[in-house]
């Protein structure tokens, strides 16, 4: 301790809102360099490296191969996938001396896709999983809680490459299993939640959320079955479309009048009663789902309409429905989402006439041109029913933000949903062919045919893990690390002035070190009192604290468990054996 580059602080830093941030700064693990950008001090670096080692061991064990990309990346691959634009202010962009654009990598799908394309060309090369543990840069709007949401942070990101969907499923399952092992070893409480609704041909995705009140994600879990989902991903089966009297066939009825609404409210209360309170007219005005009924009778959800208060609708749209589109969108803006939005009807079109105004976002499956000229084409070619429910998304699922504690579980008949907070520690995602298509990654299959590679991407917040583990492992005195994570195994305090104390403490340190046990030895003499040394030992939080003090005259040292506070006096000669 007399040599270690550390200064513990008695007072909390004033920018720290969460315990892990306060303690990591006070105990001398990290220092802030700029907002959301931190320096690892020697103690912090040890902890960070322990986390990194565990992550690396589990990735290697599942057969993924480590490589490392640069953090400074050329713009072109990110332009090919449109992410140079999509990221907006979210990335750090730099120019070289010739004026060429670069970015600091926020995530590396593009680079991994290209390196596989560079080197591989046959199905025989697959499957392969590659990973790196590397610094990422994101210009987060609200960096917070120290390392939890940094603008520079370390991520383990891996990517799997397969040429069949079954292969992708297997790679995904292998990563999932490796993540469970990794997070069990890291020793924090977590829940695996669905991360996407999985509808609209969507890809499978799950998040590993550390259960923490200070987290920024809200998830729901069922009180009865194992169902758990990020609220953004909750799917509840769409109630059967409710046809109602008075709407003629082949007629679009976007803004029902008062008597129609009254009928709908009655129909809803009769056929789909709500548990908490009856449906009201306000519900019908808030959430209108347009059903597209094809001439052959098959139905599909067409759009959600959100008539009513403009400002409220605007907020809802901004919060919930980006990037499908928000009002008011110009035709030019719509062209940015060619795959998603085929058409859009604003209040200017239908609303003027009907006074209430209706806007809706159109499901991508609507055939080309149909919805854009809804007034004409929809009338002619399709029958639209009007369905009223709560918070429909374009694919017919119910919007997550509206899920409340106490709602029925979408997965089983018995449970209700309860909500809790968490922070994302890992994310596994079946990307499918999105990046392979954009960057033209194909291999020859068994029949000599070119097939597009299908990919998975899998992230772990390696630097985020440090504060997350700290959140679950501290008390009022300081940190108490799990042994595999701690910066050392034993913290030896020489408590007194007598030279023989220091000799005995140093001898014990050396003995332990010789057995491969990592020791912090508080050899500070002079003005540093035993009280200060004990406080520092508790704050730093190494699992075992050994005091070489008054007991030494009787040949004893005290061994204390930092977490439980349990103490035992042990003969000096037996100390090393007891600790090991």
Sign (positive or negative) of CA dihedral 155, 156, 161, 164 = negative
Q: How many angstroms separate the CA atoms of 159 and 116, rounded?
A: 10
User: Please, which residue, 153 or 435, has the CB nearer to ligand ATP?
Assistant: 153
464 interacts with ligand ATP by CB under 6 A: yes
Least separation in angstroms between CB 339 and Mg ion: 21
Q: Is 308 left (phi over 0), alpha (psi -120 to 50) or beta?
A: left
Q: How many angstroms separate the CA atoms of 262 and 429, rounded?
A: 44
Q: Kindly state the DSSP code that residue 179 receives in the 8-state scheme.
A: H
Residue 77, contacted partner among ligand ATP, Mg ion, none, CB below 5-8 A by kind = none
Which part of the chain contacts Mg ion (CB under 5 A), choosing from 160-168, 352-360, 390-398, 416-424?
A: 416-424
Phi and psi dihedrals of 195, rounded to 5? -110, -15
Residue 107, contacted partner among ligand ATP, Mg ion, none, CB below 5-8 A by kind = ligand ATP
The SS3 call for residue 228 is strand
313 Cβ contact list (under 8 Å, min separation 6): 306, 307, 327, 359
Task: Scan residues 173-232 and list those touching ligand ATP (CB under 6 A).
Answer: none
Q: How many angstroms separate the CA atoms of 175 and 129, rounded?
A: 9
Phi and psi dihedrals of 568, rounded to 5? -145, 145
Task: With CB under 6 A as the rule, give the number of residues binding ligand ATP.
Answer: 15
| H or E element at residue 328 | none
Least separation in angstroms between CB 548 and ligand ATP: 40
Q: How many angstroms separate the CA atoms of 353 and 329, rounded?
A: 20
User: Please, which residue, 160 or 255, has the CB nearer to ligand ATP?
Assistant: 160
Decide: 448 and 509 in contact? Cβ < 8 Å.
no
464 interacts with Mg ion by CB under 5 A: no
User: Please, which residue, 470 or 576, has the CB nearer to ligand ATP?
Assistant: 470
Which part of the chain contacts Mg ion (CB under 5 A), choosing from 29-37, 219-227, 417-425, 434-442?
A: 417-425
Least separation in angstroms between CB 419 and ligand ATP: 17
Residue 12, contacted partner among ligand ATP, Mg ion, none, CB below 5-8 A by kind = none
* Of 113, 159, 107, residue with least CA distance to 134: 107
467 interacts with ligand ATP by CB under 6 A: no
Task: Scan residues 319-338 and list those touching Mg ion (CB under 5 A).
Answer: none
Residue 300, contacted partner among Mg ion, ligand ATP, none, CB below 5-8 A by kind = none
What is the full DSSP assignment across 425-457?
A: EEEEEEEETHHHHHTT-EEE-TTS-EEE-EEEE
168 interacts with ligand ATP by CB under 6 A: no
| Residue burial 28-43, b: 16+ Cβ < 10 Å; e: rest | bbbeeeeebebebbeb
| CA-to-CA separations, 487 to 134, 270, 329, 512, 519, in angstroms, rounded | 21, 63, 54, 15, 9
194 interacts with Mg ion by CB under 5 A: no
427 interacts with Mg ion by CB under 5 A: yes
Indicate the residue whose CB is closest to ligand ATP: 461
* Of 375, 357, 236, residue with least CA distance to 305: 357
Residue 155, contacted partner among ligand ATP, Mg ion, none, CB below 5-8 A by kind = ligand ATP
User: Please, which residue, 22 or 464, has the CB nearer to ligand ATP?
Assistant: 464
Which part of the chain contacts ligand ATP (CB under 6 A), choosing from 7-15, 147-155, 353-361, 469-477?
A: 147-155
Phi and psi dihedrals of 300, rounded to 5? -145, 150
- Which residue in 20, 107, 221, 238 binds ligand ATP (CB under 6 A)? 107
- Which residue in 140, 253, 300, 437 binds ligand ATP (CB under 6 A)? 140
User: Please, which residue, 206 or 327, has the CB nearer to ligand ATP?
Assistant: 206
461 interacts with ligand ATP by CB under 6 A: yes
469 interacts with ligand ATP by CB under 6 A: no
Q: Kindly state the DSSP code that residue 197 receives in the 8-state scheme.
A: -
- Which residue in 146, 343, 410, 459 binds ligand ATP (CB under 6 A)? 459
560 interacts with ligand ATP by CB under 6 A: no
Least separation in angstroms between CB 412 and ligand ATP: 27
Task: Scan residues 422-441 and list those touching ligand ATP (CB under 6 A).
Answer: 424-427
Please report, as ranges, the residues that interact with ligand ATP according to CB under 6 A: 107, 138, 140, 149-150, 153, 155, 424-427, 459, 461, 463-464
Please report, as ranges, the residues that interact with Mg ion according to CB under 5 A: 424, 427
């Amino acid at each position: 301790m007399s040599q270690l580059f550390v200064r513990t602080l008695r007072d909390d830093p004033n920018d720290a809102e969460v315990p892990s941030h306060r303690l990591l700064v006070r105990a001398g693990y990290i220092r802030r360099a700029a907002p959301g950008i931190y320096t690892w001090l020697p103690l912090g670096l040890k902890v960070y490296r322990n986390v990194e080692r565990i992550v690396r061991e589990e990735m290697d064990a599942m057969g993924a191969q480590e490589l490392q990309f640069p953090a400074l990346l050329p713009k072109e691959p990110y332009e090919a996938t449109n992410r140079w634009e999509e990221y907006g202010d979210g990335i750090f962009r730099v120019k070289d001396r010739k004026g060429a654009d670069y970015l600091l990598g926020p995530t590396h799908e593009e680079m991994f896709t290209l390196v596989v394309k560079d080197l591989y060309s046959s199905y025989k090369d697959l499957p392969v999983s590659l990973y790196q543990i590397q610094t990422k840069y994101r210009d987060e709007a609200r960096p917070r809680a120290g390392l939890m949401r940094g603008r520079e942070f370390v991520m383990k990101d891996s990517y799997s490459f397969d040429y069949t969907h079954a292969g992708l499923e297997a790679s995904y399952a292998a990563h999932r299993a490796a993540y469970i092992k990794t997070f069990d070893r890291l020793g924090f409480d977590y829940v695996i939640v669905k991360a996407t609704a999985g509808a609209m041909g969507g890809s499978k995705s799950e998040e590993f959320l550390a259960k923490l009140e200070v987290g920024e994600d809200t998830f729901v879990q069922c009180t009865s079955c194992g169902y758990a989902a990020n609220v953004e991903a909750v799917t509840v089966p769409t109630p059967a479309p409710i046809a109602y009297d008075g709407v003629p066939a082949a007629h679009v009825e976007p803004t029902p009048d008062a008597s129609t609404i009254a009928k709908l409210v009655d129909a809803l209360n009769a056929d789909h009663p709500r548990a908490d309170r009856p449906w009201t007219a306000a519900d019908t005005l808030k959430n209108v789902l347009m059903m597209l009924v094809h001439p052959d009778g098959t139905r599909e959800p067409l759009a959600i309409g959100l008539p009513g208060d403009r400002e409220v609708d605007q907020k809802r749209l901004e919060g919930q429905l980006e990037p499908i589109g928000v009002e008011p969108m110009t035709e030019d803006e719509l062209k940015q989402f060619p795959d998603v939005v085929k058409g859009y009807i604003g209040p200017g079109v239908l609303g003027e006439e009907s006074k209430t105004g209706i806007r809706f976002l159109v499901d991508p499956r609507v055939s080309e041109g149909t919805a854009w000229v809804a007034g004409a084409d929809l009338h002619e070619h399709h029958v639209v029913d009007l369905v009223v429910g709560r918070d429909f998304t374009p694919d017919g699922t119910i919007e997550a933000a509206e899920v409340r504690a106490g709602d029925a579980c979408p997965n089983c008949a018995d449970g209700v949903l309860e909500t809790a907070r968490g922070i994302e520690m890992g994310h596994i995602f079946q990307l499918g062919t999105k990046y392979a298509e954009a960057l033209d990654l194909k291999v020859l299959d068994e029949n000599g045919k070119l097939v597009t590679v299908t990919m998975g991407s899998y992230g772990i917040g390696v630097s985020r893990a440090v504060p997350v583990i700290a959140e679950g492992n501290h008390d009022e005195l300081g940190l108490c690390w799990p042994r595999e994570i701690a910066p050392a195994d034993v913290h030896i305090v020489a408590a007194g002035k007598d030279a023989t104390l220091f000799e005995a403490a140093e001898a014990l340190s050396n003995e332990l070190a010789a057995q491969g046990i990592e020791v912090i030895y508080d050899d500070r003499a002079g003005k540093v009192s035993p009280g200060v040394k004990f406080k520092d030992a508790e704050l730093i939080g190494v699992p075992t604290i050994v005091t070489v003090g008054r007991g030494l005259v009787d040949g004893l040292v005290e061994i204390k468990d930092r977490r439980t506070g349990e103490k035992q006096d042990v003969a000096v000669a037996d100390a090393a054996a007891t600790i090991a």
